[in-house]
A and B are shown apart, each in its own frame.
Chain A
């Protein structure tokens, strides 16, 4: 698998990570090595093998539709870098 700089830029954008222009080729090289490792899977016959997402064949747990946590909005908002009036503050999105 070859990874070009445009691919690194696209993946970084999807992951919301910034990679400086000067680092693109180094990161491309590192990703290529990990993906080459992953490409070793191509040598194994997996026809008809069902993908496994989870260790146990478990059904989703159901619970009663009732409130069981107290309202701790203030405690959680206190963790925010910026909050006011019960809201998280972020830079203006709509001009």
Chain B
């Protein structure tokens, strides 16, 4: 049942073939049956069944909301009132927020039914979900492999058929790369399109809320529910959201897709490149025109990102001081000792590494050489996209250079891990929307096709994804149970 998408489940709910309560129970049972994936930090049966009863009442009253009664999961980075929100960090292991994030509010108002909070890389820093104080998540396609990160639990829960969609966040690829590794669809909206209010901050000029689902159509339904201006987030954009559903059926005839050769560079596995090319040929059959383009500054995206993101993280994570909330060390000898030991005990290794890098890059004497230079690189990268979009409608390439790698394979080498983000981080630096679409398999593991659009052209991404998915069946493939 849960292998069906949102649209099918919504039809079944309206036809009274099932109920929100039944769907919630099935999701809860599936979460339990697949506990070995370690996709969940919290399963919230009581709250889920309560929300499902409300949804059933809304359905009985004739609610026409698209997501009413649909079970889903939240990444454990979104604050949920009364439900602990950990960011997979020992620092927030016992943090129970007194309020809901904007995205949580909107999905609750849509009568969607959250069944729990998913595992992730600590503070969203990572590309494998191995940086979690609750242990790594396993990829449903091959449990010896990573699901990607940082939204690894969300991706695994959708890929395993536990729920039809999940919320996620994307600071450098954290929705798109796990979507690619798990064979599902993941959309990172334009920066500012979805409110960050109540979403625990990592790098505030890059962080972006979005979703992972089985299809582009399902992503369109979720984006419709969560997009929009929010005065509580000063970076939220005051501009009406488009009609993402109406745009799905537009023909792709004549749409120009730029193929950036930089995205097929060294490090991209042959099987991944071949699958991506095959998916692009399918888009070509639908009338898309493929055009070779160049993004000459693509090679400096990783170095720029790994200065800017840690710099913002070091500043954002200064708030965890052991005083107001979060972990506090035992028997502090002084205020200084309280700060230092609480933080050293509360943060994991990768988070501490990024704080140190960011602190260095922002410190007196190094600011110009690192932070300012990275910000100039950011401008060059954004300019590359602007120049390309003067002649093409979308830009395409593989989402990740490889298929899902083995647990432990890159864990000891941060730089090898950072390279997993080579094709995704530039999008965050420029603040653009991008989608990862299932694009077949390499060595039996899913490959993702990334499409990038100009700011606020989510409808174009979802349209292209939906048209591709009407003519291919990669997105319907499921891992063996």
Q: Please tell me if the beta carbons of B431 and A56 are within 8 angstroms of each other in the complex.
A: yes
How many B residues are at the interface, by size bracket?
A: 35 or more
Inter-chain CA distance A34–B332, complex, in Å, is 32
**B339 — which chain A residues lie within 8 A by C-beta?**
16
**B338 — which chain A residues lie within 8 A by C-beta?**
90-91
- Assuming the contacts A44-B377, A49-B380, asked whether A90 and B191 have C-beta atoms less than 8 A apart, the reply is no
Q: Please tell me if the beta carbons of B356 and A15 are within 8 angstroms of each other in the complex.
A: yes
- A84 interface contact, C-beta 8 A: no
Please, what's the 1-or-0 string for A10-39, where 1 marks a CB less than 8 Å from any CB in chain B? Answer: 011011111100000001001101110111
**A54 — which chain B residues lie within 8 A by C-beta?**
205, 235, 431
Q: Which residues in chain A, 68-83, are within 8 Å of chain B measured between CB atoms?
A: 72, 75-76, 78-82
- A85 interface contact, C-beta 8 A: no
- A52 interface contact, C-beta 8 A: yes
- A67 interface contact, C-beta 8 A: no
Q: Please tell me if the beta carbons of A49 and B379 are within 8 angstroms of each other in the complex.
A: yes
Q: Which of A18, A27, A51 contacts B344 (CB 8 A)?
A: A18
Q: Which of B205, B231, B314, B324 contacts A80 (CB 8 A)?
A: B324
Task: Please choose the segment from B141-149, B176-184, B295-303, B457-465 that sits at the chain A interface, where 4 or more of its residues have CB less than 8 A away.
Answer: B295-303
Q: Please tell me if the beta carbons of B363 and A11 are within 8 angstroms of each other in the complex.
A: yes
Inter-chain CA distance A52–B374, complex, in Å, is 9
Inter-chain CA distance A81–B338, complex, in Å, is 11
- B34 interface contact, C-beta 8 A: no
Q: Please tell me if the beta carbons of A52 and B382 are within 8 angstroms of each other in the complex.
A: yes
Inter-chain CA distance A14–B357, complex, in Å, is 12
- Assuming the contacts A37-B306, A38-B306, A61-B231, asked whether A91 and B376 have C-beta atoms less than 8 A apart, the reply is no
- Assuming the contacts A17-B344, A46-B373, asked whether A52 and B306 have C-beta atoms less than 8 A apart, the reply is no
Q: Please tell me if the beta carbons of B191 and A56 are within 8 angstroms of each other in the complex.
A: yes
- B430 interface contact, C-beta 8 A: yes
Q: Please tell me if the beta carbons of B304 and A90 are within 8 angstroms of each other in the complex.
A: no
Chain A residue nearest in CB terms to B370: A38
Task: Please choose the segment from B150-158, B347-355, B442-450 that sits at the chain A interface, where 4 or more of its residues have CB less than 8 A away.
Answer: B347-355
Q: Please tell me if the beta carbons of B414 and A34 are within 8 angstroms of each other in the complex.
A: yes
**B323 — which chain A residues lie within 8 A by C-beta?**
80-81, 88, 90
**A15 — which chain B residues lie within 8 A by C-beta?**
314, 343, 355-356, 359
Q: Which of B191, B231, B303 contacts A37 (CB 8 A)?
A: B303
Q: Please tell me if the beta carbons of B356 and A37 are within 8 angstroms of each other in the complex.
A: no
Q: Please tell me if the beta carbons of B357 and A52 are within 8 angstroms of each other in the complex.
A: no
CB A18 to nearest CB in B, in angstroms, measures 5
- A66 interface contact, C-beta 8 A: no
- Assuming the contacts A51-B379, A72-B98, A80-B323, asked whether A38 and B235 have C-beta atoms less than 8 A apart, the reply is no
Q: Please tell me if the beta carbons of A42 and B356 are within 8 angstroms of each other in the complex.
A: no
Inter-chain CA distance A78–B98, complex, in Å, is 9
- B340 interface contact, C-beta 8 A: yes
- Assuming the contacts A44-B297, A55-B192, asked whether A31 and B357 have C-beta atoms less than 8 A apart, the reply is yes
Q: Please tell me if the beta carbons of B356 and A12 are within 8 angstroms of each other in the complex.
A: yes
Q: Please tell me if the beta carbons of A41 and B343 are within 8 angstroms of each other in the complex.
A: no
- B117 interface contact, C-beta 8 A: no
Q: Please tell me if the beta carbons of A55 and B359 are within 8 angstroms of each other in the complex.
A: no
- B35 interface contact, C-beta 8 A: no
Inter-chain CA distance A60–B216, complex, in Å, is 33
A sample of 10 more A-B contacts (CB under 8 A), given A16-B318, A31-B353, A58-B192, is A14-B363, A17-B343, A17-B355, A18-B340, A31-B357, A37-B306, A46-B376, A55-B205, A56-B455, A93-B335
- Which residues of B pack against A, CB within 8 Å? 95-96, 98, 191-192, 205, 231, 234-235, 237-238, 297, 299-300, 302-304, 306-307, 310, 314, 318, 321-325, 328, 332-341, 343-344, 347, 352-353, 355-357, 359-361, 363, 370, 372-380, 382, 414-415, 418, 429-432, 455
Give the top 6 A-B pairs by smallest Cβ distance, nearest first.
Answer: A55-B431, A51-B375, A81-B328, A79-B325, A52-B379, A75-B98
